[in-house]
């Protein structure tokens, strides 16, 4: 896809709106690190090799300015005890007390005791693996599942955390294979991504397989670059999030009431409100990020509490908001981003 040129690879990703990388299976050599720095990328990288600290991390990695976070656990619950993760966390912090630490795991928010609650205090960042699309009837709940997983992570912070700040960087599915039969549609990917941010994501990543060959059909699947449609779906989302990142990093402000449903389902597949939103103040305007978690059209009444001219990002439409309230329609898995100038 990029002629095996790491510099071109980072350039392509930068143009597509990405700014964070992970050397999951690429050598952390001078070419990789210099290309990341050249295009303004930060990195999150493994600091642990099997059961001991990675030699590269100890000798070189902790001095590299491109690194934002150290990865301490992958599918943590399956292969690492809470005590082992605590030991990794304390060892890494003793060597590098500046950067963040992170771990990734399916949270299992449907379980009475989820995968994360015993591990809350042993990394700064949790990266829930949100992979809800298997190619069956449950796929319609993909956005609802994203919201449920995000909310459960913050509930774990509240119930089991030690009071230190924690962040959630969701990992959103953009793959098929290994039991997952299909990619998300473009609308599902867009809705899952914005739903994750609306419900507390302070960063976001997407997981894809790098490429594998089906031994039966001899079809080679290139993961995220397997087709123009698949590549276009993810880059459309990443460019949009990049375009509003200066808004999303603003401090939290007072949140408006939950939108009231006029027509369509009032709840998603898990009994949560069908439409939820997040507000931010930026450059004198109120921004509102809203998502429909259902596979049905929903008409809602939204009350931002501010009157003025409202522009809808990426939709080429605008309207007046009188009395701090307006009505709008969301298609299945619809996302609207409003900019309301007081």
CA triplet 9, 11, 16: central angle to 5 degrees? 95
- pLDDT in the model for residue 263: 98
What pairing do the DSSP bridges indicate for beta strands 220-221 and 212-213?
antiparallel
Contact call for residues 95 and 72 (beta carbons, < 8 A): no
Question: What confidence tier does 136 reach under pLDDT thresholds 50, 70, 90?
Answer: very high
Q: What is the DSSP letter of 274?
A: S
Q: Residues 75, 77, 78, 82: what is their CA dihedral angle, to the nearest 10 degrees?
A: 120
Is the pLDDT assigned to residue 58 strictly greater than 70?
A: yes
**Mean pLDDT value of segment 233-256:** 96
**Mean pLDDT value of segment 264-292:** 97
Question: What confidence tier does 3 reach under pLDDT thresholds 50, 70, 90?
Answer: confident
**Mean pLDDT value of segment 122-143:** 97
**Mean pLDDT value of segment 325-337:** 98
**Mean pLDDT value of segment 96-104:** 96
pLDDT 10s digits, 144-193: 999 999 999 999 999 999 999 999 999 999 998 878 999 999 999 999 99
The 10 Å Cβ neighbour count of residue 105 is: 22
Alpha helix (H) residue ranges in the chain:
6-15, 30-38, 55-59, 76-79, 82-95, 142-160, 186-198, 228-243, 245-248
Is the pLDDT assigned to residue 25 strictly greater than 70?
A: no
Is the pLDDT assigned to residue 26 strictly greater than 90?
A: no
Collapsing DSSP to helix, strand or coil, 124 comes out as coil
Question: What confidence tier does 222 reach under pLDDT thresholds 50, 70, 90?
Answer: low
**SS3 per residue for 159-228:** HHCCCCCCEECCEEECCCECCECCCCCHHHHHHHHHHHHHCCECCCEEECCCCEECCCCCCEECHHHCCH
Mean residue pLDDT across the chain? 94
Question: What confidence tier does 213 reach under pLDDT thresholds 50, 70, 90?
Answer: low
Residue with tokens 């912070």, as numbered in its chain: 157
- pLDDT in the model for residue 227: 85
Question: What confidence tier does 4 reach under pLDDT thresholds 50, 70, 90?
Answer: confident
Is the pLDDT assigned to residue 220 strictly greater than 90?
A: no
**Packing angle between helix 142-160 and helix 186-198, nearest 10 degrees?**
20
pLDDT 10s digits, 61-86: 999 999 999 999 999 999 999 999 99
Residues whose CB is less than 8 angstroms from the CB of residue 5 and which lie 6 or more positions away in sequence, other chains included: none
The Cα 267–Cα 117 span in angstroms is: 27
pLDDT 10s digits, 247-258: 999 999 999 999
Ranking 27-41, 290-304, 320-334 by mean pLDDT, the lowest is 27-41
Side-by-side strand order, sheet with 260-263: 260-263, 298-302, 326-330
Residue with tokens 């960063």, as numbered in its chain: 203
| Closest to 288 in 3D by CA, of 273, 305, 272, 274 | 305
Q: What are the structure tokens assigned to 90, written together?
A: 């304390």
pTM for this prediction: 0.95
Q: What are the structure tokens assigned to 324, written together?
A: 């701090």
């Amino acid at each position: 896809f990029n002629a095996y040129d790491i510099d071109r690879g980072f350039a392509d990703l930068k143009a597509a709106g990405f700014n964070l990388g992970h050397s999951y299976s690429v050598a952390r050599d001078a070419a990789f690190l210099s290309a990341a720095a050249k295009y303004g990328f930060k990195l999150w990288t493994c600091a642990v090799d099997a059961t001991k600290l990675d030699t590269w991390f100890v000798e070189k990695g902790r001095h590299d300015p491109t690194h934002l976070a150290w990865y301490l656990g992958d599918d943590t619950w399956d292969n690492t005890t809470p005590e082992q993760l605590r030991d990794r966390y304390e060892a890494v912090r003793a060597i590098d007390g500046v950067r963040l630490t992170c771990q990734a795991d399916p949270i299992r928010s449907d379980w009475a005791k989820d995968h994360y609650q015993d591990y809350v205090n042993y990394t700064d960042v949790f990266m829930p693996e949100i992979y809800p699309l298997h190619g069956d009837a449950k796929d319609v709940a993909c956005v609802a599942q994203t919201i449920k997983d995000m909310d459960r992570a913050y509930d774990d912070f509240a119930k089991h955390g030690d009071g230190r700040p924690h962040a959630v960087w969701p990992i959103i599915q953009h793959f098929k294979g290994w039991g997952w039969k299909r990619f998300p549609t473009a609308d599902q990917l867009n809705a899952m991504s914005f739903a994750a941010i609306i419900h507390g994501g302070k960063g976001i990543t997407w997981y894809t397989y790098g490429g594998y060959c089906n031994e039966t059909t001899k079809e080679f699947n290139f993961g995220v670059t397997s087709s123009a449609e698949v590549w276009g779906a993810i880059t459309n989302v990443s460019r949009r999030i990049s375009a509003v990142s200066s808004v999303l990093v603003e401090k939290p402000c007072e949140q408006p009431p939950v939108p009231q449903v006029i027509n369509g389902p009032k709840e998603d597949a898990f009994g949560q409100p069908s439409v939820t939103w997040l507000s931010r103040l930026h450059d004198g305007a109120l921004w509102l990020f809203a998502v429909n978690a259902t596979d049905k059209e929903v008409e809602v009444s939204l009350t931002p509490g501010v009157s003025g001219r409202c522009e809808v990002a990426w939709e080429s439409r605008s309207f007046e908001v009188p009395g701090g309230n307006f009505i709008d329609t969301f298609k299945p898995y619809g996302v609207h981003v409003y900019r309301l100038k007081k």
